[in-house]
Homo-oligomer: A and B are copies of this chain.
């Protein structure tokens, strides 16, 4: 029979290879065939360490998110802390574009997985320090988390289309033109906003959204 592997396979190694495949080839690039090839093994070996593909995807997601949230920083004001965590997730999602759909899928599977609490905690602990009534902590954190993941996911998709600066302005021109060309009756707003999209800075625009929600949170005790 064939020789066994010289060094033992590990779960961490499998997860690391999975992240590599996802990064280079996207979600559809993660297959057990590709995995066995890179790891020079058979499917049975992987199934010894990992229950199934879903668990592997969850583990890859968890590893990348933990990494993104682990960055140590000098402590700042609660607002600055929220901004820093948001940017950390923004960058992680830009670097690993498969993360966005994966995270929203995991959020949409209830709080069973370990990723949902981790993300809510990373933002919520600073919302708590914002000095708003406890009754609005959860709502405020939800608004921030969903905006951050959604906007970062959309940005990552755009970022993937373009790499060079020339590509980028061409791409934005195309988007702007597409919006400006929509039906005037049905899409008045999109047409009016088309010009804006042409020359905006992604991170700046993203942070403006975070600030908008933070402002709403600050004013929440005086809600109508």
Q: Which residues from chain A sit less than 8 Å from chain B, CB to CB?
A: 97, 100-101, 104-105, 107-111, 117, 120-121, 124-125, 127-128, 134-143, 145-147, 149-151, 153-154, 156-158, 161, 175, 178-179, 182, 186-190, 192-193, 196-197, 200, 205, 208-209, 211-220, 223-224
Known: A101-B108, A157-B110. A146 touches B151 (CB 8 A): yes
* Main SS at interface, chain A: helix
State the number of copies, please: 2
Taking CB as reference atom, which chain B residue is nearest A178? B111
18 further interface pairs, Cβ-Cβ under 8 Å (given A108-B157, A117-B179): A97-B108, A101-B105, A101-B108, A117-B182, A121-B187, A124-B189, A125-B188, A135-B196, A136-B208, A138-B197, A138-B200, A139-B205, A139-B208, A142-B209, A146-B150, A211-B224, A212-B213, A219-B219
